[in-house]
Amino acid sequence: MKNRIQSIFLNKSKKLVTFVTGGDPNYKNSLKIINQLAESGVDIIEIGMPFSDPMADGPIIQLASQRAIEKNIDLNKIFKICKNFRKKNNHTPIILMGYYNPIHYFGDKKFINKCSKSGIDGLIIVDLQPENDGHLSSIAKKNNIEFIRLVTPTTDKLRLQTILANASGFLYYVSITGITGAKFGNINKLKSSVNNLKNKTKLPVIVGFGIKTNMQAKKISKFADGIVVGSSIVEMIQEHFIDKISLNNTLKKINNFIKSLKKAIK
């Protein structure tokens, strides 16, 4: 049985994946923002699980995690957000992205069971290495949840084999050696790396980290299967929170940004 992620890649169009931190700036508005992303035409939605030490994330997403934690957003509330989203939308794939510590504390089996019941289609666990993720990935697979792995510019051939062994859904290629939101790197080098990766796997390759502009999105989508945009959207949410911009205006801004990106990657 294909899940939503597998189904969406049956269509060969370039995919727009977006990231927001679940519960940022609060539960109610986070759900509205996630609904807006889907309504604006996002292909896959990544929801960040708030964590106190998000080491792979830049300042913008770190602050988003902090805002969510201050609003008492935990895994149970993330599941609740997803279940409520599914009341309106049963087709847009949801991926939970984050760190293993909260999952380990929650319990692997219990976590995957809640994912399955909440309409979650995939997982990206940033700090769980492929040598150590067998238990969680096997439970996920049994529940038809894709276990998406990261590939970086520093991944060597031997390690890539380990990463590809149990990867599913798609491969997330990290475009820079750094944190989320960092300055984007060399496009030609990126193209070469993605093409090399695509020669070694049948999985779609989606590029993320550092993508902020329509021009970057357009260039990358010519050789990748899609792009991930996160920090730029989270920054809009931050402006809503700090500068007291109305939620309606923020939703309009997000909508316009998403539609411009979708147009760019066609």
Mean local confidence (pLDDT), 146-165 = 93
For residue 170, the model assigns a pLDDT of: 98
**Over the chain, what is the mean pLDDT?**
93
pLDDT digits (tens, 9 = 90+) for 210-260: 898 999 999 999 999 999 999 999 999 999 988 888 999 999 999 999 999
Mean local confidence (pLDDT), 41-57 = 90
CA atoms within 13 A on the CB side of 227: 29
CA atoms within 13 A on the CB side of 130: 17
pLDDT, greater one: 177 or 94:
94
Question: Tokens at residue 76, please?
Answer: 């149970």
pLDDT digits (tens, 9 = 90+) for 173-219: 998 765 454 455 688 999 999 999 999 999 999 999 889 899 999 99
Q: What percent of the chain has pLDDT over 70?
A: 96
Q: In what order do the strands lie in the sheet with 205-208?
A: 146-147, 122-125, 94-98, 44-48, 15-21, 226-229, 205-208, 171-174, 149-151
Question: Which segments of 165-219 are extended strands (E)?
Answer: 171-174, 205-208
Say which CATH class 4-8+15-261 falls into. Answer: alpha beta
Full-model pTM: 0.95
Residue type, 19: F
Which residue in the block uniquely carries the two structure tokens 């539609």?
Answer: 259
Mean local confidence (pLDDT), 79-89 = 98
Q: How far is the C-alpha of 194 from the C-alpha of 175, rounded, in Å? A: 9
Question: Annotated catalytic sites, by residue?
Answer: 46, 57
For residue 184, the model assigns a pLDDT of: 59
- CA angle, 4 as apex, 76 and 123 as ends, to 5°? 45
Question: Tokens at residue 68, please?
Answer: 């969510």
**CB 147, CB 169: distance < 8 Å:** yes
